[in-house]
Copies of this chain bind each other. A is one copy, B any other.
Amino acid sequence: MLDATSSYDPMAPRIPVADRTGHRTVPETTRRTDRIPGTRYGNRPTMKDVAARAGVGLKTVSRVVNGEPGVTPETERRVQEAIEALGFRRNDSARVLRKGRTASIGLVLEDLADPFYGPLSRAVEEVARAHGALLINGSSAEDADREQELVLALCARRVDGLVVIPAGDDHRYLAPEIKAGVATVFVDRPAGHIDVDVVVSDNFGGARDGVRHLIAHGHRRIGFIGDMPRIHTAAERLRGYRTAMEDAGITVADSWMSLGVTDPERVRRAAEEMLSGPDPVTAIFTGNNRVTVTVIRVLAGHARRVALVGFDDIELADLLQPGVTVVAQDAAALGRTAAERLFRQLDGTLLAPERIELPTRLITRGSGELPPAD
Contact = CB atoms under 8 A, between A and B. Distances in A.
Given A69-B15, A157-B93, A179-B87, A315 B115 contact: yes
A73 interface: no
A97 interface: yes
Interface in A29-56: 42-44
A23 interface: no
Given A10-B99, A134-B153, A156-B91, A296 B319 contact: yes
A346 interface: yes
Nearest to A68: B13
A96 B103 CA distance: 16
Contact of A113 (B68, B100, B119, B156): B119
Contact of A132 (B10, B99, B104): B10
A103 B316 CA distance: 40
Nearest to A18: B69
A69 B19 contact: yes
A113 to B, nearest CB: 4
**Copies of this protein chain in the complex:** 2
Contacts of A90: 156
A304 interface: no
Contacts of A138: 125, 129, 134-135
A66 B14 CA distance: 8
Contacts of A177: 87, 89
Contact of A118 (B99, B104, B118): B118
Contact of A10 (B4, B102, B119): B102
A9 to B, nearest CB: 6
A2 B137 CA distance: 27
A113 B122 contact: yes
A156 B320 contact: no
Contacts of A104: 136, 157
A129 B108 CA distance: 14
A321 interface: yes
A8 B319 contact: no
Contact of A8 (B6, B89, B115, B347): B347
A121 interface: yes
Given A87-B180, A103-B10, A137-B135, A118 B113 contact: yes
A271 B281 CA distance: 42
Nearest to A289: B315
A122 B132 contact: no
A319 B297 contact: yes
A348 interface: yes
A260 to B, nearest CB: 22
A99 to B, nearest CB: 7
A310 B346 CA distance: 45
A194 interface: no
A216 interface: no
Interface string A151-168: 011111110100000000
Given A135-B138, A157-B93, A13 B315 contact: no
Given A91-B97, A93-B93, A136-B137, 19 more contacts: A4-B348, A5-B348, A8-B346, A11-B132, A14-B66, A42-B181, A44-B181, A87-B179, A89-B152, A112-B112, A112-B125, A114-B118, A117-B118, A125-B138, A126-B139, A293-B315, A293-B316, A300-B319, A314-B316
Interface of A: 1-2, 4-15, 19, 42-44, 66-69, 87, 89-94, 96-97, 99-104, 111-115, 117-119, 121-122, 125-126, 129, 131-139, 152-158, 160, 176-177, 179-181, 293, 296-297, 300, 314-321, 332, 343, 346-348
